């Protein structure tokens, strides 16, 4: 499969978003979009599929036009497989583009071997970005199916020969083992969910478990670390909250901490839609 188009946020409003992934348009929930849409209902009816959430936490797609089970879209400088899921996700998060480009810029200008671990790696956008820039990778996620999706993305991106370890593991258990092995990393990428379960029934709750996770991340950092990038879509976390938490864990290191909302520009007007928050610790060079 080959991609011929990238991503576009066409419009948002009334707690919905209108996305274009390649040639296909999707109408999905956006709880933060309290404003009015710019475009008419006619434009929104051009969507190929619409996702509606259910009270149980999942949801259902309604298909208005023919839509393939999966297709390819270019993200940054590599291709990823897009496929609608039962939770409304499609396998790529374009609001992470700034982080992905930052990861690549840091790695390319470091001019030495660098190992990066991507925790809660999902379908692997950060893994692919770092690998393409020249890093050695460890990708960790508790879902076997999602890790397979990441592997498929690596194949699509032409990175199957690159040094990437694909781990189906509980993140905290895996971190503890890496610390005992004294396997340290120059860069860490973390995108923890609000709630989740490990492959052996382990329960993850971001409010209670993130502080412990960051302490273990500090322990697994190389003596010459370069970056830690943390993001979340949990509504309880603001940029300042994430920044303060990074400061607790990494503030004494020789670096700077920055935090912000992740934003997507709309093409229908000069407006940006916030979608999640991120904080970064970056070593001073």
Q: Model confidence over 35-80: pLDDT tens digits?
A: 999 999 999 999 999 999 987 777 999 999 999 999 999 999 999 9
pLDDT at 66: 95
What are the residue boundaries of the structural domains of the chain, listed by start? Answer: 7-82, 94-283
d(CA 227, CA 30): 30
pLDDT at 54: 84
| 16 touches 33 (CB < 8 A) | yes
In sequence order, what are the residues at sequence separation of 6 or more whose Cβ sits closer than 8 angstroms to the Cβ of residue 44? 11, 16, 18, 27, 37
- Of 91, 68, 66, which Cα lies nearest the Cα of 81? 91
d(CA 164, CA 183): 15
| 172 touches 212 (CB < 8 A) | yes
pLDDT at 200: 67
Question: Residue 76 — left, alpha, or beta (φ > 0 → left; ψ -120 to 50 → alpha)?
Answer: left
Query: Percent of the chain having pLDDT more than 70?
Result: 96
Match domain 7-82 to its CATH number in 3.30.390.10, 3.40.462.20, 2.60.40.1180, 3.40.640.10.
2.60.40.1180
Query: Percent of the chain having pLDDT more than 90?
Result: 87
Give per-residue pLDDT as tens, 186-227: 999 999 988 777 666 677 688 888 999 999 999 999 999 999
Give per-residue pLDDT as tens, 112-137: 999 999 999 999 999 999 999 999 99
Half-sphere exposure of 139 (CA within 13 A, CB side): 27
CATH architecture of 94-283: 3-Layer(aba) Sandwich (3.40)
């Amino acid at each position: 499969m080959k991609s011929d188009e990238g991503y576009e946020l066409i419009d948002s409003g009334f707690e919905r978003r209108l996305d274009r992934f390649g040639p296909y348009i999707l109408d999905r929930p956006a709880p933060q979009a309290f404003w009015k849409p710019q475009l008419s209902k006619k434009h929104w009816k051009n969507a190929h599929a619409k996702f509606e959430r259910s009270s149980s936490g999942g949801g259902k797609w309604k298909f208005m036009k023919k839509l393939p089970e999966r297709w390819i879209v270019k993200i940054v400088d590599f291709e990823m497989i897009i496929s609608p899921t039962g939770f409304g996700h499609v396998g790529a998060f374009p609001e992470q583009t700034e982080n992905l480009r930052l990861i690549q810029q840091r790695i390319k200008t470091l001019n030495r071997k660098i190992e990066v671990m991507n925790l809660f790696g999902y379908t692997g956008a950060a893994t692919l970005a770092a690998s393409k820039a020249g890093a050695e990778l460890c990708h960790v996620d508790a879902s076997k199916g999602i890790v397979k999706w990441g592997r498929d993305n690596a194949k699509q991106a032409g990175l199957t020969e690159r040094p990437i370890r694909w781990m189906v593991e509980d993140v905290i258990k895996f971190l503890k083992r890496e610390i005992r092995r004294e396997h340290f990393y120059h860069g860490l990428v973390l995108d923890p969910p609000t709630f989740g379960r490990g492959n052996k029934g382990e329960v993850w709750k971001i409010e209670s478990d993130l502080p412990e996770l960051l302490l273990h991340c500090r322990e697994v950092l190389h003596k010459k670390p370069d970056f830690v990038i943390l993001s979340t879509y949990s509504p309880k976390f603001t940029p300042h909250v994430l920044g303060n938490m990074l400061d607790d864990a990494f503030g004494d290191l020789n670096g700077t901490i920055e935090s912000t909302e992740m934003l997507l520009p709309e093409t229908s007007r000069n407006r940006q839609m916030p979608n999640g928050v991120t904080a970064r610790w970056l070593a001073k060079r």
